[in-house]
Amino acid sequence: MAGWRVRRDSGLYGYERALYRAGLGPVAGTDEAGRGACAGPLVAAAVILDPHRPITGLRDSKLLTAGARERAYDEIVARAAAWAVVEIPAAECDQMGLHVANLAALRRAVWRLDIAPSYVLSDGFAVDGLGVPALAMWKGDRVAACVAAASVIAKVTRDRIMIEMAQQWPDYGFEIHKGYTTALHQQRLDSHGPCPEHRMRYGNVQRAVESTTT
C-alpha cells in the first residue's frame, strides 16, 4: 500500500477502497469464531465483498445482536463476491494446538474462496502461507468491512453448529453459552464431565475430568 494513506474518517470500507485503488484487489477479509470457547469447533471464514454492493449496517459481529447478525449474514451471502467457511472440530484443535489450528482454519478459508484474492486482511495476528500479501489489523473486524463480514459469517455459522450440538448433548446448555466458559457451562461441566465436543487441553475441562473420576 506504498503511497496510499487511509484516513481515519474513511469508514469501514476505507482499507478496501485504498487497496483497490492501488491495484491490489480482490481483497479478502478473514476472521474466526470460537477461539476462546472450551467446547465446540473453531470456525473461520473468508469474504471478498463486492465493492459495488455494500452491506447495510455491517459491523463487527460482537457488536450486533443475534437477530442483526442473522440479517447481516443473509445479506453478505447474497451480496459478497465470494465467501467460504471452515470448521475445525474440538479434537483437532486439541491435536494441533489452538493457535496452529486457528492459522490453519484461516488459511483454509482463504484457499476455499471461489475467487483468488490479491490481498488479505486478517484480524489481530498475521496469517502466513497465503501466497499473497496480507496485513494483520488490530481490531480488524471493526475497521475493515471484509473482516467484519468474515466475523459475521464465522460467528453465525458457529452459533448454528452449537445450537444443533445442544440437541445431541442436552446436558450442557450449548444453545445458551455456545461453548464458552460461563458459570452455567462450568456447572454443567463439573456435574456431567466433558463430552466429546469439549477441548480437553483446557484447564477447566481437565479439572472437570479429574473431579468426575475421583
| CA-based end-to-end distance of the chain | 59
Q: Are 60 and 137 in contact (CB under 8 A)?
A: no
- Predicted confidence at residue 62, as pLDDT, reads 84
Residue 54 above 90 pLDDT?
no
- Predicted confidence at residue 190, as pLDDT, reads 93
Mean pLDDT within 29-54: 96
- pLDDT digit string, tens, across residues 140-185: 888 899 999 999 999 999 999 999 999 999 999 999 999 999 999 9
Q: Please name which of 163, 188, 189 lies closest in space to residue 178, comparing C-alpha atoms.
A: 163
Mean pLDDT within 196-210: 92
- pLDDT digit string, tens, across residues 25-34: 999 999 999 9
SS (H, E, C) the chain: CCCCCCCCCCCCCHHHHHHHHCCCCCEEEEEEECCCCCECCEEEEEEECCCCCCCCCCCCHHHCCHHHHHHHHHHHHHHCCEEEEEEECHHHHHHHCHHHHHHHHHHHHHHCCCCCCCEEEEECCCCCCCCCCEEEECCHHHHCHHHHHHHHHHHHHHHHHHHHHHHHCCCCCHHHHCCCCCHHHHHHHHHHCCCCCECCCCHHHHHHHHHHHC
pTM, 2 dp = 0.92
- Cell (9 digits) for 100: 496452529
The domains found in the chain, sorted by start residue, are 14-168 (3.30.420.10)
Residue 68 above 50 pLDDT?
yes
- Predicted confidence at residue 124, as pLDDT, reads 87
